[in-house]
Amino acid sequence: MTRTPLAAPKGQATKERLRAPYPRVRVIVLDDDVNTFEHVVRVLVRTIPGMQPDQAWTLAYQIDGEGAAVVWSGPLEQGELYHQQLAAEGLTMAPLEQA
């Protein structure tokens, strides 16, 4: 009698999924003719953890001068939250980009 190999246990497939890197994204604010520098800075400081006013001002000038700026990058779920919060405050957002 010959034996045929058994399929991998379900737990093993789960382990393989856990080894895949967690998706990372970039949150990008776009330039518009609606928001003031002060509003952009205020929203960035209030929404993005650790964002300092000086950094927010630099990003606001980059958004104005270059048309867009990456304001945060990291894990997908946090990026989705920050993206939604910034959009809810009236900032013009690019779609999330994979980092």
Cα 93 from Cα 85, distance rounded (Å): 10
Residue 5's pLDDT band (cuts 50, 70, 90): low
Cα 74 from Cα 49, distance rounded (Å): 12
pLDDT digits (tens, 9 = 90+) for 44-57: 999 999 999 999 99
Q: Is the pLDDT of residue 38 over 70?
A: yes
pLDDT digits (tens, 9 = 90+) for 6-33: 555 565 555 556 677 899 999 999 999 9
Cα 2 from Cα 19, distance rounded (Å): 34
**Chain centre distance of CA 89:** 16
pLDDT at 33: 97
Cα 44 from Cα 55, distance rounded (Å): 9
Mean pLDDT of the chain: 90
